[in-house]
Every structure is written in structure tokens, then in C-alpha cells.
Amino acid sequence: MKVMLDTNVILDIWLARDPYWIESARLLARVESGELTGYICPTTINTLHYLGKKVLGEQKIRELIKRLLDICDVGNISSKVFRLALASRVRDFDDAVIEAVSIDNQVDLIATRNTKDFKKSKIPASEPSQIAYAK
């Protein structure tokens, strides 16, 4: 199964945000073990760097991004994808881009703590805790 990891899932792990980081880490462990194929949106990388360097520092955030790129695929992005996002019923544009990248890369599920933001998404969204233990 292909799973798009929303930005908040990765930040939960890297910033050890209680109580969310444990389930997000279990989900990422399933990706790392090959049970699931993890995807990240290209715009997520920019956001992770921007937010993460403020807390973790430049060197640490670069190391974490490199490790993330070793275990996750980066979805494709193009003008077609941005047009899909602009036409999306998902209200928040960042979330619409994640949905559009998921559609274009034939991702099965979006992992996010903000499932309500993806209610109108063409790709279903689930919380990390629901995916971390799914068979």
C-alpha cells in the first residue's frame, strides 16, 4: 500500500510531540521495513526544513531530511498537479497539493492527524494510529 505522509506526521516524530509521535513513528517504521511504501509531497520537504531548522538547527534538520529521503519516495509535482490542486474540493491549498500529488502518484491513503481537512479529498485520509497497526 502507498501512503502519503502529511507534514504533521513527520514533525510529530522529529519534534517528539506528545502524544502523537509514538503512532507516527510506528507508521514510519512500517515504511522503513518495506511493509508500506511511504511518499512525501515535494512541498513537505521545504516546510520540514523551514520549521525544523528553527527548533533542531540547520545541520540536524538536513540529516533528518536525508534519512527521510532514504526511506520515502518523493511524489511528482508539475503544472498538472497544481491544476488538480486548484480544482480540488479540499479547501486548504497546501492540503489540496498533497491530495493532487497523491492522485498523480496513485497513492492509496493519506496519513494525517488532520483528517477533517481531507474530508472532500479523492484520496481517503486516516490518522497514523489507524495505519500503524492495520494489516
Q: Give the domain CATH number at 120.
A: 3.40.50.1010
Q: Which of 24-28, 76-80, 84-88, 131-135 has the lowest mean pLDDT?
A: 131-135
C-alpha cell recorded at residue 66:
536525508
Query: Could you list the residue range(s) of the whole structural domain that residue 23 is in?
Result: 2-132
pTM: 0.93
Contact 106, 117 (CB under 8 A): no
- Mean pLDDT, residues 51-69 taken together: 95
Identity at 84, one-letter amino acid code = L
For the chain, the domain total comes to 1
- Mean pLDDT, residues 58-73 taken together: 96
Q: Rounded to the nearest 5°, which phi and psi values hold at 2? A: -95, 130
**pLDDT for 135 beyond 70:** no
**pLDDT for 70 beyond 90:** yes
Give me the pLDDT at residue 90, please.
97
State how far the Cα of 116 lies from the Cα of 74, in Å rounded to an integer: 24
